[in-house]
A and B are shown apart, each in its own frame.
Chain A
Amino acid sequence: MARISAGIATSHVPAIGAAFDLGKTKDPYWAPVFEGYEFVKEWIKDNTPDVVILVYNDHASSLMMDIVPTFAMGFADEFQSADEGWGRRPVPVVKNHIELAAHIAEQLVIDEFDITLINEMDVDHGLTVPLSLVFGQVEEWPCKVIPFVVNVSQFPTPSGERCWKIGEAIRNAVKTFPEDLNVQVWGTGGMSHQLHGTRAGLINEEFDRRFIDLLAHEPEELKYITRLEYLRETGTEGIELIMWLIMRAALGYGVEEKKRFYRVPASNTAVGHVVYECKS
């Protein structure tokens, strides 16, 4: 049977991808950010999964324009990196695990999550920056990736509670897949940031650190943070943290925290990162 063995959360700032692609990871500005990922780059060598379910949001690259699904899954065989206005990131093509994706879709609908399937799309920095941070510069990604896309940009966005429940539903779906597969769930985005207006550059370190403090062992109360509270406390884009809740819920009750990292700034954003191993 398939099982979820671990989870990773990380911010997915586009400038991190640019620094990575341009070989600036040792620059004084970027070195402290990339140092935070040294642990996971080693850890993943011994913990390479068969499949990553990668929870992210599309940044007006393939979605948000004509179609705005609340929850969607990439259902193509493979996905190219998107041209976000400065050319495609030079990263490997992302390959899907169609059988598992189809199974999850089936189970989610049974669990009353009417998931959207996307048969063609490019994937943007939201998905490729986390892959680069964890796997580094590679010829091919060492595992299959199921893109799991959440609308966190256009209100109405889903609630934290709803995200938690879909995370639980993903967990139940994976557990009933008959093939032996080692699956990880990654939650991306956040932490606090706001990308426009006179509040641009907002960072709430106290909120962010408390969020990380509670996520491993006392995540219950994080479920009830309202969308308005995210906006007020963490900026308009801080609400991406609801995607960390999907990851956390998918891991089940007991986790062991292997790594936590927090750093301000990367471009406009507070960078947060955790690695959890499942205990059950």
Chain B
Amino acid sequence: MPRTRLYPLADLEDIPGTKVFTALRSREAYYLHKFCMSLMKAENREEFKADERAYLDTFKMTEEQKQAVLDRDLTKLIDLGGNMYFLVKLASTDGLSALKAVSTTSGMGVEEYTQMMLEGGRSPEGIRSIRDKN
């Protein structure tokens, strides 16, 4: 007999503003992530910067994913299966810190976000569960 689950799988989707990185999302973003990991070599970063579109076209990503990379729309890329550990390679290629990259997905400006972190970060109160509103 399989063990009883400690919580329903659907609950992973019950966290406000959060995409839990699952095996299925990883699959959806596989070629996007291949592109991100290619940026771990200096020569590839140069090639990408020289002609972003041409470089992206060498990967089997969806057109939507390519456009979101060109737009540096990390929120969209996460909606399309992306995970920040991969996406941060794109931000690093642009010379952005992880703090700046993360702030662009937060709905806040980078100054406001940085200030929030200095003041102790974002409280979990009220954003634990969509269903329970706690």
Which residues of A line the B interface, CB within 8 A?
Answer: 14-15, 18, 59-61, 64-65, 68, 82-87, 153-156, 192, 194-205, 207, 226, 228, 231-236, 264-265, 267-268, 270
B20, B103, B118, B129: which contacts A200 (Cβ < 8 A)? B103
B62, CB-defined interface residue at 8 Å = no
B129 touches A232 (CB 8 A): yes
B41 touches A83 (CB 8 A): yes
CA distance A278 to B113 in the complex (A): 41
Interface of chain B residues 25 through 67 with chain A (CB within 8 A) = 26, 30, 33-34, 36-37, 39-42, 45
Q: How far is the CB of B18 from chain A (nearest CB, A)?
A: 5
Interface of A is mostly: loop
A59, A198, A204, A234: which contacts B106 (Cβ < 8 A)? A198
B116 touches A201 (CB 8 A): yes
Q: Which 8 A-B pairs have the closest CB atoms?
A: A203-B121, A85-B92, A198-B17, A60-B85, A85-B89, A200-B106, A197-B17, A265-B117
Q: How far is the CB of B10 from chain A (nearest CB, A)?
A: 11
CA distance A151 to B30 in the complex (A): 17
Query: In the complex, what residues of A have CB within 8 A of residue B84's CB?
Result: 195-196
Complex: chain B residue closest to A86, CB-CB: B92
B107, CB-defined interface residue at 8 Å = yes
A201 touches B102 (CB 8 A): yes
A201 touches B117 (CB 8 A): yes
A-B residue pairs in contact (CB < 8 Å), sample of 23: A18-B97, A64-B26, A64-B33, A65-B33, A82-B40, A85-B92, A86-B92, A155-B23, A196-B18, A196-B75, A199-B122, A199-B127, A200-B106, A203-B123, A204-B123, A231-B12, A231-B15, A236-B18, A264-B117, A265-B117, A265-B121, A267-B97, A270-B121
Which residues of B line the A interface, CB within 8 A?
Answer: 6-7, 11-12, 15-23, 26, 30, 33-34, 36-37, 39-42, 45, 74-75, 78, 83-86, 88-93, 95, 97-99, 102-103, 105-107, 113, 116-118, 120-124, 127-129
Query: In the complex, what residues of A have CB within 8 A of residue B6's CB?
Result: 226, 228
Q: How many A-B residue pairs have CB under 8 A?
A: 158
B85 touches A85 (CB 8 A): no
A200 touches B12 (CB 8 A): no
Asked if A85 meets B40 with Cβ closer than 8 Å, knowing A200-B122, A202-B127, A268-B102, the reply is yes
CA distance A207 to B85 in the complex (A): 24
B33 touches A203 (CB 8 A): no
A15, A83, A207: which contacts B98 (Cβ < 8 A)? A15
CA distance A65 to B26 in the complex (A): 8
B12 touches A268 (CB 8 A): no
A201 touches B113 (CB 8 A): yes
Q: How far is the CB of A195 from chain B (nearest CB, A)?
A: 4
Query: In the complex, what residues of B have CB within 8 A of residue A205's CB?
Result: 120-121
CA distance A233 to B88 in the complex (A): 24
